[in-house]
Amino acid sequence: MKTTVTIPAQQLAVSYTPDVVVIGGGATGVAAAIAAAREGADTLLIEQRGYLGGMGTAALVPAFCPYTDGEKPVIRGIGLDLLEKMKQAAGPDFLGRYKEQLDWVPIDVETLKRVYDTEVLASGAKVLFHTVADQVLLDGDRISGIVISNKTGRSVVQAKLYIDASGDADLAALAGVPFQVGGEQGELQPGTMCYVVTGADKARYDQYLKESGHHPQQEELVSEAQKNGDLPEGRKRISGKAWITDSVVGFNFGHIFGIDGTKAEDLTRAAIEGRQLIETQIRFLKKYVPGFENIVLVHSGDQIGIRETRRIQGDYTLVVEDFLSMRTFEDDIARNSYFIDIHLANAGAAMTIKHLPKGKSHGVPYRCMLPQGKSNLIVAGRSVSSDRPVQGSLRVMPNCFAMGEAAGIAAAMAGAEGTGFRDISVPELQRRLVAHGAWLGERPGQADVELEVAASDVTFEAECK
């Protein structure tokens, strides 16, 4: 039998009064904080861990999803700049391997953490680690403050504007914004416990592929291992393999089903089952895949990688017809060309994948980031207002950079003008995005930029969260 307890009223100190507060330090939040601060807003970025990067660092997603539509980069601006800075900072060997590549670039996790720290602080934004927001204070349609908790204690942050970059719409949910979760039956994409190994031999592995004619995803080996009981049923291929060096490899391989990333109990079960599955996979790799006989696990994700949780109800819901028709909106703040990538909800189901034609993309309207019923809150990242198929496309890190940058500039504009997010000039927002290098499609008055890219001639295949 469940009981409840009434907590006595508390007097909490106001610890911060920024113009803009960003909740969540993943790709979305990093771009949002940098963009808002560069536009002159006093910005505070709050992150629950002791480092930035979200799924790319905490969950060890091994590679960035594509920045290009197969012909040109559609994700530019802050997101592309951060990718290039990671390449430069990762050292000459990494840069030499991936200098011209923009799609499926492996993530050097420790380098990326430092790059994010440097770039966020250089923008003028402040960072507060090891902190969560656990309560929202409301005044009509406005958020008047949020209660944060950390080792220092509980306190209140009072900002003019709030950016929910949590990935799970945590702040929006606390504020009472309506949302949907998963499919019609509540089903969710599975999670994956990613990991990094050392001791691999890329030369031996490449020679094996050349001599055997096998595809890098080794579907035949996975099928054989599953028949022999050496791998559980589920994922049918070794996708999500990213070579950081000739001996260090990141893996996004295998699924943990029935995980709701907004529930601590599910995340706990996923962590335990995920680490057990890694052990099984490493035994498989050593036994079946030439070049991996001597690998050693060096790092598993701090948490399981989550692909899907809440989707807010916004002023506009981006739907699959918009994706398929490659629709352009008057209030576009980004373009997306990543394919619809919905992973199986159980071991017997099939993945849903739908690609756009090469060189094509669709618009992401500003309105899908505006949550119903709240004037000074914007939601960016994988939890924006969309149907489930489109969420399966928008959810990846390059898109999150683009949406975060737009949210950050919008917040700075609203703060300077003393308005809410719906009152800013969208054409001016678009002008500022383009001025900072973003690409919003072929629009009058916007010159395209010539960039040399390696979009499809990759040496490995990977999947992203």
The pLDDT tens digits for 44-101 are 999 999 999 999 999 999 999 999 999 999 999 999 999 999 999 999 999 999 999 9
Backbone angles phi, psi at 311, to 5 degrees: -125, 120
- Based on the fold, state whether residues 146 and 180 are members of the same structural domain: yes
- Based on the fold, state whether residues 213 and 319 are members of the same structural domain: no
**What percent of the chain has a predicted confidence (pLDDT) above 90?**
85
Q: Is residue 345 over pLDDT 80?
A: no
Counted domains in the chain: 2
**Residue 351: band (very low, low, confident or very high) from pLDDT cuts 50, 70, 90:** low
Q: Is residue 465 over pLDDT 50?
A: no
- Based on the fold, state whether residues 335 and 283 are members of the same structural domain: no
444 vs 173, which has greater pLDDT?
173
Per-residue pLDDT tens over the stretch 235-249: 777 878 999 999 999
- Based on the fold, state whether residues 18 and 144 are members of the same structural domain: yes
The Cα 18–Cα 13 span in angstroms is 15
Per-residue pLDDT tens over the stretch 182-221: 988 888 999 999 999 999 999 999 999 999 887 777 888 8
- Based on the fold, state whether residues 255 and 380 are members of the same structural domain: no
31-35, 240-244, 350-354, range with the lowest pLDDT: 350-354
Q: Evaluate whether 63 touches 397 at the Cβ level (below 8 Å).
A: no
The C-alpha angle 175, 307, 116, rounded to 5 degrees, equals 80
Q: Evaluate whether 334 touches 440 at the Cβ level (below 8 Å).
A: yes
Q: Evaluate whether 169 touches 23 at the Cβ level (below 8 Å).
A: no
Q: What is the mean pLDDT of the chain?
A: 92
Among residues 361, 377, 365, 376, the alpha carbon closest in space to that of 403 is found at: 365
- Based on the fold, state whether residues 53 and 158 are members of the same structural domain: yes
Which helix or strand (DSSP H or E) is residue 353 part of? Answer: strand 352-354
DSSP 74-100: S--HHHHHHHHHHHHHT-HHHHHHHTT
Q: Would the CA dihedral through 40, 414, 449, 109 be positive or negative?
A: positive
Among residues 201, 383, 200, 390, the alpha carbon closest in space to that of 306 is found at: 383
Q: What domain range is 18 assigned to?
A: 14-184+308-342+356-435
- Based on the fold, state whether residues 153 and 202 are members of the same structural domain: no
Q: Is residue 447 over pLDDT 90?
A: no
142: left (phi over 0), alpha (psi -120 to 50) or beta: beta
Q: For residue 8, what are its two tokens?
A: 């006595």
| pTM for the model | 0.94
The Cα 389–Cα 354 span in angstroms is 9
**What percent of the chain has a predicted confidence (pLDDT) above 70?**
93
- Based on the fold, state whether residues 169 and 234 are members of the same structural domain: no
* pLDDT at residue 453, rounded to an integer: 45
The Cα 377–Cα 162 span in angstroms is 5
Pairing of strands 161-164, 20-23: parallel
- Based on the fold, state whether residues 142 and 218 are members of the same structural domain: no
- Based on the fold, state whether residues 261 and 239 are members of the same structural domain: yes
